[in-house]
DNA sequence: TTAGGGTTAG
């Protein structure tokens, strides 16, 4: 009877001490039996038991047994390394490897090196991998396909670019399907889907065998570049290879359709799938989350009716869907379900909840979740900054940014966009300009059109319209209509008719179908007494501009969400809306708000 | 005793 059978027969988490003792005694004093009844050597039995402990998650027991083993050969050390790695304890796996190298004469074989390289990938350490690479060369194990593939994987995952991975890939004499898939995945997972697809094509042209793994990663590459055309070609090839019944492959196809925003194809694919698991449902729910949040939520209900239990991924999408709808009561219900299922404290879910509460108007609840989070990441901080900014608390958002940097959380482009928007709304112009400079100089983030737009807005709102214009002129790319639109708003607010006219002409040249632009230009001409030009603009608008889609509002009354446009009748509930509008008007009057009626007058007149 | 694929957030 081997150790694994002993463990399975005991059906308990603790291996009886008597059995363990007998194993250890046997190792010291092996029984004298003759073949063919010679039992396995004790070290093999103990190593088998070690593996069994890890398979059952009994990490402490595995460590104790390993420490008590009188003989530890390379297999035992490797089992310990791979055991820790299989339990996601990559750092401990690395320490075991170091102990083996420092304190014993045991030398690593190809199994040890490939397992330890996997640990390097787990701790995301290029330098650990490079260290092992040197050892691989020294030991003359560069010819092992397992070691080469593991090394390729570390470089493809942990390096800033694919140069080192490419060098390793070139050195592999006889590449197998794992080499190709690892190389394709390296490009794809870092967002270079085109190169991923290019390597996939090269694999096929060089006679590499496509298989479920390579198809899945190639489909992911299509999704990352939003190429539904390539994706459909791959879908057809997958069906041709008879892989349209392979669940992971079909989940990747479904994901591709969702990411390419081809929801009809996604729905058809989902309906035709013969097997579905939780990932299938989660993929569809996430696919609908932005484009059609109501369908996302109804898909979640269908999933529960089918008897599947939602997990963190499911709730993450559902919370985001509810955030898009900004229905607070619904969000609170979902939050309750999350807590009831014991999923509270999950980082990604907490981040989604912060965003949901902030978008639903309850910044206090968002803050409470943030404060209770055991660990926070960049998204947690940024979500709070955006939340504070959108609620008009610009100073708080800026304080949050400062606090975040103190906690050594490195801001990215989105975090800078959030803090620049906050500065803009709080009138902190000089501070905002300093953040912009710091983004470029200290964090080496190249400003994109959105960031430039934020800076134009920052200067423009503060009345520094000339500076905003100079900034637009100095941009390293052609400004788009949103940047000119931002300048236009500033010109309008601070009375700069010349620059305003220029901005309008730029907007019209880039987007000639936006009715509001003609309205503003018509008004500028009218204010200047140029009535002929003003009338000309209105005529042009009728000919060129598309009819504006009516602005839709939604309101929650007695746990029901109602969506309406101006002039809609909502039966008895309209009284409630009228009542709220009266209160809002009263508040505005009290705050001495003077409405800008420019658009309003012309909208009525021109029926737009 | 070793390797590769499918789903989360700002």
| pLDDT digits 0-9 by tens, A204-250 | 999 888 899 999 999 999 999 999 999 999 999 999 999 999 999 99
pLDDT for residue A114? 96
Closest nucleotide to A312: CA versus each C1': B8
% residues pLDDT > 90 (chain A): 67
pLDDT for residue A181? 95
| Tokens matching residue A604 | 């009525």
Q: Which of A329, A332, A396, A388 is nearest to A363 (CA)?
A: A388
A475-501 pLDDT, tens digit each: 998 998 889 999 998 998 888 888 888
Closest nucleotide to A115: CA versus each C1': B2
Residue written as tokens 């979902």? A334
Closest nucleotide to A350: CA versus each C1': B9
pLDDT for residue A571? 67
Task: Give the whole-angstrom CA distance, residue A157 versus residue A173.
Answer: 21
Half-sphere exposure of A585 (CA within 13 A, CB side): 6
Q: Which of A434, A462, A526, A492 is nearest to A484 (CA)?
A: A492
Closest nucleotide to A82: CA versus each C1': B1
CA of A255 to C1' of B7 (A): 8
Closest nucleotide to A79: CA versus each C1': B1
Cβ atoms within 10 Å, residue A501 = 17
pLDDT for residue A27? 41
Closest nucleotide to A417: CA versus each C1': B10
Cα–Cα–Cα angle for A22, A25, A26, rounded to 5 degrees: 85
CA of A429 to C1' of B9 (A): 30
pLDDT of A567 higher than 80 = no
Q: Whose CA is nearest the C1' atom of nucleotide B8?
A: A313
The average pLDDT across A411-424 equals 95
pLDDT band, very low/low/confident/very high, at A117 (cuts 50, 70, 90):
very high
Task: Give the whole-angstrom CA distance, residue A196 versus residue A221.
Answer: 6
CA of A336 to C1' of B4 (A): 39
Task: Give the whole-angstrom CA distance, residue A95 versus residue A346.
Answer: 28
CA of A313 to C1' of B7 (A): 7
pLDDT of A31 higher than 50 = no
pLDDT of A24 higher than 70 = no
CA of A380 to C1' of B8 (A): 14
Q: Burial, A240: exposed, middle or buried (Cβ in 10 Å; 0-12, 13-18, 19+)?
A: exposed
| Tokens matching residue A340 | 């009831």
Residue extents of the structural domains in chain A: 512-606
CA of A321 to C1' of B9 (A): 12
For strand B, the positions having any atom within 7 A of a protein Cβ are 1-10
A157 with A189: CB under 8 angstroms? yes
Task: Give the whole-angstrom CA distance, residue A159 versus residue A162.
Answer: 7
CA of A558 to C1' of B10 (A): 31
pLDDT of A47 higher than 70 = yes
Closest nucleotide to A211: CA versus each C1': B5
The average pLDDT across A355-383 equals 95
Cβ atoms within 10 Å, residue A256 = 29
CA of A193 to C1' of B8 (A): 20
The average pLDDT across A20-45 equals 52
The average pLDDT across A522-540 equals 78
CA of A153 to C1' of B3 (A): 9
pLDDT band, very low/low/confident/very high, at A550 (cuts 50, 70, 90):
low
């Amino acid at each position: 009877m081997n150790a694994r059978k002993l463990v399975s027969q005991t059906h308990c988490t603790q291996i009886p001490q008597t059995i363990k003792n007998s194993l250890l005694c046997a190792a010291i004093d092996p029984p004298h039996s003759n073949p063919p009844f010679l039992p396995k050597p004790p070290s093999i039995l103990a190593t088998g038991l070690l593996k069994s402990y890890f398979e059952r998650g009994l990490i402490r027991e595995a460590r104790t047994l390993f420490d008590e083993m009188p003989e530890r050969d390379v297999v035992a050390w490797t089992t310990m390394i791979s055991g820790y790695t299989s339990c996601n304890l990559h750092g401990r796996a690395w320490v075991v490897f170091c102990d083996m190298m420092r304190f014993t004469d045991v030398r690593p074989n190809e199994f040890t090196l490939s397992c330890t390289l996997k640990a390097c990938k787990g701790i995301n350490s290029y330098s650990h991998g490079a260290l092992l690479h040197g050892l691989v060369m020294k030991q003359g194990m560069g010819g092992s396909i397992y070691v080469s593939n593991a090394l390729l994987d570390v470089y493809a995952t942990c390096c800033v670019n694919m140069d080192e991975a490419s060098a390793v890939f070139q050195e592999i004499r006889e590449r197998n399907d794992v080499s190709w898939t690892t190389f394709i995945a390296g490009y794809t997972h870092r967002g270079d889907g085109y190169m991923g697809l290019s390597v996939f094509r090269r694999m096929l042209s060089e006679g590499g065998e496509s298989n479920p793994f390579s198809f899945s990663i190639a489909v992911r590459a299509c999704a990352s570049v939003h190429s539904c055309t390539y994706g459909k070609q791959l879908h057809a090839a997958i069906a041709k290879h008879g892989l349209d019944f392979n669940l992971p492959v079909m989940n990747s196809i479904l994901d591709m359709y969702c990411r390419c925003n081809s929801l009809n194809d996604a729905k058809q694919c989902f309906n035709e799938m013969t097997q579905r698991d939780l990932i299938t449902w989660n993929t569809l729910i996430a696919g609908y989350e932005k484009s059609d949040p109501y369908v996302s939520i109804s898909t979640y209900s269908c999933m529960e009716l089918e008897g599947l239990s939602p997990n963190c991924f499911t709730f993450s999408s559902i919370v985001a869907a509810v955030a898009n709808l900004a229905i607070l009561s619904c969000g609170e219900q979902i939050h309750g379900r999350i807590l009831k299922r014991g999923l509270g404290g999950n980082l990604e879910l907490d981040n989604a909840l912060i965003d949901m509460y902030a978008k639903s108007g309850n910044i206090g609840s968002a803050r409470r979740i943030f404060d209770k989070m055991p660990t926070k990441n960049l998204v947690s901080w940024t979500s709070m900054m955006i939340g504070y900014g959108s609620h008009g608390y610009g100073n708080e958002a800026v304080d949050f940014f400062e606090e975040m940097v103190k906690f050594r959380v490195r801001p990215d482009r989105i975090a800078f966009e959030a803090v620049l928007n906050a500065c803009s709304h709080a009138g902190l112009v000089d501070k905002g300009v300093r953040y912009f400079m710091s983004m470029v100089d200290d964090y080496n983030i190249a400003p994109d059109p959105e960031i430039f737009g934020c800076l134009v807005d920052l200067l423009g709102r503060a009345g520094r319209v000339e500076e905003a214009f100079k900034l637009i002129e100095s941009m390293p790319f052609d400004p788009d209509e949103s940047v000119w639109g931002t300048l236009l708003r500033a010109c309008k607010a601070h009375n700069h008719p010349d620059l305003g006219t220029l901005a309008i002409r730029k907007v019209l040249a880039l987007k000639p179908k936006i009715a509001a632009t003609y309205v503003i230009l018509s008004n500028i001409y009218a204010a200047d007494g140029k009535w002929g030009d003003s009338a000309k603009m209105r005529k042009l608008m009728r000919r060129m501009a598309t009819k504006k889609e009516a602005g839709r509002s939604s309101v929650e009354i007695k746990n029901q969400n109602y969506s309406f446009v101006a002039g809609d009748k909502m039966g008895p509930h309209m009284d409630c809306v009228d009542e709220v509008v009266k209160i809002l008007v009263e508040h505005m009057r009290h705050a001495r708000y003077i409405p800008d009626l420019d658009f309003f007058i012309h909208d009525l007149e021109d029926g737009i």
